[in-house]
């Protein structure tokens, strides 16, 4: 259920990347070419997913490093164009390098390694409706008992069984107990209490 709920509350996201090792001072045309390819891929994905133009979001970034380093830092692509963009890229890289490692190497050449786009399609979010309080007693959800081996109770113990579908907001169950439903079984240990909230979640707490 949580997986399905997550799908209903999450935007569509995918990533595209191109690796092309390029010195920063000669990267102007390479940046344009790589992001043109990535933009085309993102546009095709948006179209295939049926994402309308107002709901499309793109985040462009470049993995950068000093020449000879074995690791890169991700830097968002600045909005500037032309030579100003390369200056802004270097400044952003140095700021991130200082934040991560405490220093910058001003004389070292900077390389661009991987060009990335994260494409996000904003989708309408499902709303979770709460439920009215349960109209009957929690005992109406009891379906029987079962002997269960519980070390917490010192051995075999008679445990009350509950049908999850019959539980409603406000119902409380003291452990030991078992709540059964079609796709899962919930064990409530001795010393625990389960409470059903307004969204039918089963909240288990240690008894005070």
Encode pLDDT of 92-108 as tens digits.
999 999 999 999 998 89
Helix segments in the chain, DSSP class H: 2-9, 28-49, 83-101
Phi-psi region of 138 (alpha: psi -120 to 50; beta: other; left: phi over 0): alpha
> According to the model, what pLDDT value does residue 106 have?
86
CA-based R_g, the chain, Å:
28
- pLDDT of 2 > 60? The answer is no
The full 3-state SS of 21-55, as one line of letters, equals EEEHHHCHHHHHHHHHHHHHHHHHHHHHHCCCHHH
CA distance 107 to 199: 59
For 122-184, where are the E strands, in sequence order?
Answer: 142-150, 155-163, 172-174, 177-180
The full 3-state SS of 175-197, as one line of letters, equals CCEEEECCCCEEEECCCEEEEEC
- pLDDT of 5 > 70? The answer is no
> According to the model, what pLDDT value does residue 125 have?
76
Other residues' Cβ atoms within 10 Å of the Cβ of residue 46: 21
> According to the model, what pLDDT value does residue 4 have?
60
Q: Are 28 and 8 in contact (CB under 8 A)?
A: no
Q: Computed from CA positions of residues 91, 95, 96, 98, in that sequence, does the dihedral angle turn out positive or negative?
A: positive
CA distance 30 to 42: 18
Higher pLDDT, 205 or 1: 205
Encode pLDDT of 22-71 as tens digits.
999 888 899 999 999 999 999 999 999 999 999 999 999 999 999 988 89
**CA angle, 101 then 104 then 106, to 5°:** 165
Q: Are 76 and 59 in contact (CB under 8 A)?
A: yes
Confidence band (pLDDT; 50, 70, 90) for 130? confident
**SS3 state at 109:** coil
């Amino acid at each position: 259920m949580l997986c399905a709920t997550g799908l209903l509350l999450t935007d569509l996201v995918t990533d595209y990347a191109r690796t092309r090792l390029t010195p920063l001072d000669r990267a102007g045309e390479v940046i344009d070419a790589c992001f043109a390819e990535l933009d085309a891929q993102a546009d095709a994905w948006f179209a295939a997913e049926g994402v309308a133009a107002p709901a499309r979001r793109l985040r462009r970034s470049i993995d950068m490093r000093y020449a000879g380093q074995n690791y890169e830092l991700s830097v968002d692509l600045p909005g500037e164009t032309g030579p100003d963009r390369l200056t802004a890229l270097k400044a952003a890289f140095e700021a991130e390098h200082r934040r991560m490692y405490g220093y910058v190497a001003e004389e070292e050449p900077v390389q661009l390694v991987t060009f990335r786009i994260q494409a996000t399609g904003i989708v309408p979010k499902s709303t979770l409706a709460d439920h009215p309080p349960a109209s009957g007693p929690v005992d109406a959800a009891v379906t029987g008992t079962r002997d269960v081996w519980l070390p917490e109770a010192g051995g075999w113990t008679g445990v009350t069984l509950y049908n999850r579908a019959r539980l409603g907001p406000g119902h409380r169950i003291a452990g030991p107990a078992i709540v059964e439903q079609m796709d899962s079984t919930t064990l409530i240990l001795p010393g625990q209490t389960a409470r059903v909230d307004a969204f039918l979640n089963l909240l288990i707490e240690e008894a005070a």
